[in-house]
Amino acid sequence: MAAMSAEQPARFVVRIGVRSYEMDVNGHVNHAVYHQYAEHARMEHFRASGLSEDVLAGRELTVVLLSTTVHFRAELRAGETLEVDSEIAFTRRKPFTMSHRIRRIADRAGTPVDDLAAEVECTMGVLDVGTRRLVADPHARLSAAATEPALLGPVPD
């Protein structure tokens, strides 16, 4: 995980190997799988901060995806190694953003490379499961439940 200062959003990184069953008929990663890579990074980011699904459920909360956009930059193929980062940015509004960069860090032969494969932008919210409404001040609600709240980034201005 990269270091962060008080001014930086919280950034977290996971490593993923591209699997053969993720290929489409053209021999590269299917477009929907990029969304799955970002989802994996998001969930691992929350888990690392101490916000597992069970912890959130115990507080009658869940994190929901409101919208997502992927900008494809390069093809990915089976056997390559990726790093997917996850960056959270809160404001004073109920929705917050999580951004991801999917980078190829090794080709199929294991040779190190550094290629940006995709950028993913997600709008998220914290849902009160009882009222089925987004909570106000999601940063504070998540930080109160987290064991590592620094991974959620600074308090929004």
d(CA 49, CA 53): 12
Instruction: Provide the pLDDT confidence category of residue 10 given band limits of 50, 70 and 90.
Output: low
Rg (CA), the chain: 16
Residue 6: inside a domain, yes or no?
no
Q: Residue 44 has which token pair? A: 């691992």
pLDDT of residue 11: 78
Burial class (CB in 10 A: 0-12, 13-18, 19+), 96: buried
Residue 13: inside a domain, yes or no?
no
CA angle 32, 35, 40 (to 5 degrees): 130
pLDDT at 7 over 80: no
Residue 36: inside a domain, yes or no?
yes
Global confidence as pTM: 0.90
Measured between alpha carbons, how far is residue 132 from residues 57, 94, 135 in Å? 13, 13, 9
pLDDT of residue 9: 57
Please, which residues have CB within 8 angstroms of residue 144's CB and are 6 or more apart in sequence?
A: none
pLDDT of residue 2: 42
Range of the domain at 84: 19-149
Helix intervals (H) in the chain? 31-48, 53-58, 138-145
pLDDT of residue 157: 81
pLDDT at 13 over 60: yes
Residue 114, helix vs strand vs coil:
strand
CATH of the domain at 134: 3.10.129.10
**Domain total of the chain:** 1
The per-residue pLDDT for range 104-140, each reduced to its tens digit, is: 999 999 999 999 999 999 999 999 999 999 999 999 9
Residue 60: inside a domain, yes or no?
yes
Residue 91: inside a domain, yes or no?
yes
Residue 78: inside a domain, yes or no?
yes
